[in-house]
Structure 1
Amino acid sequence: MFRKLWAATAASNLSDGVSLAAAPLLAATITRDPALIAGITVAQRAPWLVLAFVSGALADRLDRRKVAQSANWIRAAAFAALTAAVLSGALSMPLLYVVFFAIGTAETLYDSVSAAWVPMLVGPEELTRANSRLQTTWVVCNEFAGPPIGGFLFAAAASAPFLLGTAGYLAAVALLALIPPAARRQDEPEGGPLTVRNVREDIVTGARWYWSSPVLRALSLVAAAGNAAVAASYGLLVLLAQDELGVSDEGYGVMLAASAVGAVLGGMTAGRVGGRFRPGTLILVTNLLSAAATAGLGLAVSPAVTVALMALDGFVVLVVSVHMVTLRQQIVPNELMGRVTSVYRVVAVGSFAVGGIAGGAVARAFGVQASFYAAGAAIAVAALAVLPVLSNARLAEVKRRAEAAAGPAEEAAPVS
Structure 2
Amino acid sequence: MTQPSFLAPFRNPDFRALWSATLFTNLGALVQVTAAGWMMASLTNSPSMVSLVQSANTLPFMLLALVAGALADNFERRTVLIWSQSFVVAASAVLAVLAFMGLVTPWLLLGFTFLIAGGGVIFLPSWQASMGDILPREDLPSAVSLNSMSYNLMRGIGPAIGGAIVAWVGAAAAFALNALSCLPLIAVLLRWHPEVPKSDLPRETLGAALAAGLRYALLSPALVRVILRGGIFGFAAVSVLGLLPLIARDQLQGTAMTYGLLLGAFGFGAIGGVLLNRPLYARCRNETIVRISFLGFAAGMVVLALSSSLLLSCVALLAMGPFWVIALSLFTVAVQLSTPRWVVGRALSLFQTTAYGGMAAGAWLWGYLADRIGEGGSLCAAAALLLVGAVLGLWMRQSDFEEVDLAPVGGFVVPKLALDIRYRSGPFMILVEYDIAEADVPAFLALMRERRKIRLRDGAHNWALMRDAERPQRWFESYHVPTWSDYLRHNERRTRSDGRNFDALVALNRGGAEALRVHRLIERQTVPPGDDFPVRLMPDGRLLP
Query: Which bin holds the TM-score, normalised by the shorter protein?
Result: 0.7 to 0.9
3-state DSSP class of the match of 1:181? coil
For the structure 1 residues 49 and 325, does the alpha-carbon distance in structure 2 shift closer, same or farther, using more than 3 Å as the test?
A: closer
**Pairing 1:189–2:200 present:** yes
**Pairing 1:395–2:407 present:** no
What aligned pairs does 1:373-412 form with structure 2 within 5 A after superposition? 373-390=380-397, 394-396=399-401, 399-401=402-404, 403=406, 406=409, 409-410=458-459, 411=490
Cα deviation, residue 247, structure 1: 6.5
Give the conservation status (yes or no) of the 8 Å contact 2:149–2:274.
yes
Pick aligned residue for 2:60 from 39, 47, 54: 47
What aligned pairs does 1:231-380 form with structure 2 within 5 A after superposition? 231-233=238-240, 235-236=242-243, 254-300=261-307, 306-360=313-367, 363=370, 368-380=375-387
Name the residue aligned to 1:171.
184
Instruction: Compute the TM-score of the two structures, normalised by the length of structure 2.
Output: 0.64
Cα RMSD after superposing both structures: 3.6
For the structure 1 residues 389 and 159, does the alpha-carbon distance in structure 2 shift closer, same or farther, using more than 3 Å as the test?
A: closer
Give the conservation status (yes or no) of the 8 Å contact 1:85–1:91.
yes
**Aligned amino acid, residue 266 of structure 2:** S
**Aligned amino acid, residue 148 of structure 1:** A
Relative to its length, the structure with more strand (as a share) is 2
What whole-Å deviation, never above 9, does each CA across 1:253-304 have from its counterpart, x for those lacking one? 6544332221111113322332222323222223232233334444549765
Distance 1:237 1:36 in 2: 13
**Larger relative contact order (CA 8 Å, sep ≥ 6):** 1
Pick aligned residue for 2:76 from 63, 68, 77: 63
For the structure 1 residues 214 and 380, does the alpha-carbon distance in structure 2 shift closer, same or farther, using more than 3 Å as the test?
A: farther
3-state DSSP class of the match of 1:400? coil
Cα deviation, residue 135, structure 1: 0.8
**Aligned amino acid, residue 129 of structure 1:** S
Relative to its length, the structure with more helix (as a share) is 1
Identity, % of aligned pairs? 26
Cα deviation, residue 199, structure 1: 0.9
Give the conservation status (yes or no) of the 8 Å contact 2:341–2:407.
no
**Aligned amino acid, residue 266 of structure 1:** G
**Aligned amino acid, residue 51 of structure 1:** L
Instruction: Compute the TM-score of the two structures, normalised by the length of structure 1.
Output: 0.82
Name the residue aligned to 1:146.
158
Name the residue aligned to 1:111.
124
Distance 1:48 1:321 in 2: 15
For the structure 1 residues 126 and 387, does the alpha-carbon distance in structure 2 shift closer, same or farther, using more than 3 Å as the test?
A: farther
Cα deviation, residue 343, structure 1: 1.7
For structure 2, which runs of at least 5 residues remain unmatched after alignment? 1-13, 413-457, 460-489, 499-545
Distance 1:147 1:98 in 2: 21
Name the residue aligned to 2:114.
101
**Pairing 1:216–2:223 present:** yes
3-state DSSP class of the match of 1:395? coil
Give the conservation status (yes or no) of the 8 Å contact 1:60–1:338.
yes
For the structure 1 residues 259 and 96, does the alpha-carbon distance in structure 2 shift closer, same or farther, using more than 3 Å as the test?
A: closer
**Aligned amino acid, residue 207 of structure 1:** L
Cα deviation, residue 170, structure 1: 1.8
Give the conservation status (yes or no) of the 8 Å contact 1:222–1:379.
no
**Aligned amino acid, residue 136 of structure 2:** G
What whole-Å deviation, never above 9, does each CA across 1:363-405 have from its counterpart, x for those lacking one? 56666544333322222222331344435xx435xx2345587
Name the residue aligned to 1:72.
85
